[in-house]
Amino acid sequence: MTYRDRPVFELTVDWTALPAGRIEYDLREVALGFGAEAFYGEQEHAVHGWDLRVWLDTPEGIDELDAFTKALGGRLVGFWLPTPVSPFRIVAGVSATACDIASAGLASSWADHPSSFVWFTRAGQAGKGAKITGVIENGDGTERVTFEESVSVDETWQPWTLAYVRLAEDTERGEFTAEGRQVRTVKVLELPAEYAEIEAGTRPVFLYRLWVGEGAERVDWFWTSFAWDLEDVNEQTYLARRITHETIGYDTTGVRQGVEIEVERLEDSPFGLAFPPHGCQPLNVEIATADYSNPTAQVVLFSGVVTSVQAEGRKLRARCVTLWGGDQTRVPAFYFSTRCQYRVFEPGTCGLDRAEWEKKATITALTGRDVTVAGPTLSGVIANWFAEGWLEVGSGIGREVRLILKHEAESALTARSTPAHVQRRRCR
């Protein structure tokens, strides 16, 4: 179940077996005297932490908890936790958005903490959440609580304080008590500073666009590091993936230089195209950020290409650089020049028609770095006419490009090309 677009942790928790709720304060000693003044951060709210013992009595229950944590998309992604604290006792229902409770001093204290959310439960009924918007004294030993949502609760419903939390660690701990039964320990921390962001929907999200090829041969991937898919973002769906990036580097002139991306290794990952036997086709990367409430209004943080990918178990680490400013880019600087030296057939530069310069042929043999091609279009071609040009095969993600070093003058010519791992750099 979800509440305000966030998942709710509804698995069975044994609060009596491990009552380990804790409160942490940011208190530090301030020395008085003639020494340097002590600076320390002020903390607005106490941070609550919970150690949960979750009883999983069936294999399906174990799978359910695994699926819940996997769907979070990372340890820092928040979710709702109904705590064992009951903030009040309902006396009677008043309307769909209000109820009377036994006087608990809530009228003067409910707004002291950023969390004003409540989770209601009743046997045989699905739980439901609500946000308190006001509490007043009735003058008869009761208080009237109003909610933002329509919940229609009465004295048969049990309220619980609803906290917004995240996992406190990446490690999962559990003990199998029998076949198909497990007791899992889960540690969480409350996120008091994020209640307003949940309410307003202003949580920032990162959007990753990756593509290979150009024009009709172009293939795109749209990913987000958010907890779930983002649909209809500029007519695209950004799929939730475990992906993150480090701080974007700048040179002394303020130009963006490079960034490293870490991503889970999946079968559909385009980063796998950086490994042999794929060709030198560049994998382009664009990193943007936006507000969750309006992901279409994006601010591009980085745009470049992947130069190398390293595998670390189930994780891939991709090094990305800008096209002209990267530390691995092999392009000399031109102060007064067009872009014809490297992008001859691109519209708007030299204006050459690629169709007038390319010839189609069929590959008939492969021997090491020697590629033999044949076809009537090669008749009369002189030796090394294609030298320093390129040989292109396939399309989409299967497209492969090799630089031609030299070739013989034959109707079925044999060209020597660069190996894939070398060409990966040269063709950029």
Gap between the Cα atoms of 148 and 199, Å rounded: 11
In sequence order, which ranges of 94-136 are alpha helices (DSSP H)? 106-109
Gap between the Cα atoms of 31 and 36, Å rounded: 9
Gap between the Cα atoms of 161 and 149, Å rounded: 16
Decide: residue 133, CB within 10 A, 0-12 exposed, 13-18 middle, 19+ buried: middle
Query: In a 3-state reduction of DSSP, which class is residue 168?
Result: coil
Gap between the Cα atoms of 197 and 204, Å rounded: 9
For the beta carbon of residue 364, count every other beta carbon within 10 angstroms.
12
Query: In a 3-state reduction of DSSP, which class is residue 197?
Result: helix
Q: What pTM does this model have? A: 0.57
Give the pLDDT of residue 328: 44
Instruction: Express each pLDDT in 135-150 by its tens digit.
Output: 999 999 999 999 999 9
Give the pLDDT of residue 272: 79
Gap between the Cα atoms of 89 and 103, Å rounded: 9
At 193, which amino acid appears?
A
Asked, as a colleague might, if the bond just before 277 is cis with ω within 30 of 0, I would say yes
The two tokens of residue 219 are 């293939």
Q: Are 288 and 280 in contact (CB under 8 A)?
A: no
Closest CA to 287 of 298, 274, 273: 298
Gap between the Cα atoms of 163 and 114, Å rounded: 10
Give the pLDDT of residue 294: 82
Q: Are 317 and 300 in contact (CB under 8 A)?
A: no
Positions in the chain whose pLDDT score sits under 50: 19-20, 30, 32, 37-40, 326-339, 420-428
Give the pLDDT of residue 17: 63
Closest CA to 286 of 350, 222, 210, 385: 210
Q: Are 233 and 321 in contact (CB under 8 A)?
A: no
Would you give the distance in Å from CA 378 to the centre of its chain? 49
Catalogue all structural domains in the chain, each as residue range(s) with its CATH number: 2-196 (no CATH), 204-321 (2.30.110), 360-426 (2.40.10)
Gap between the Cα atoms of 293 and 203, Å rounded: 8
Would you give the distance in Å from CA 211 to the centre of its chain? 17
For the beta carbon of residue 320, count every other beta carbon within 10 angstroms.
25
Element (H, E) at 64: helix 59-71
Gap between the Cα atoms of 295 and 289, Å rounded: 8
Q: Are 202 and 195 in contact (CB under 8 A)?
A: no
Q: In 168-293, at which residue ranges do the beta strands (DSSP E only) sit? A: 173-178, 181-190, 204-212, 219-224, 230-233, 236-240, 243-245, 249-250, 256-264, 284-291
For the beta carbon of residue 407, count every other beta carbon within 10 angstroms.
25
Gap between the Cα atoms of 188 and 81, Å rounded: 9
At CA 53, angle to CA 50 and CA 59, rounded to 5? 140
Gap between the Cα atoms of 306 and 121, Å rounded: 51
CA atoms within 13 A on the CB side of 376: 0
Gap between the Cα atoms of 258 and 323, Å rounded: 10
Q: Are 4 and 129 in contact (CB under 8 A)?
A: yes
What is the C-alpha R_g of the chain?
31
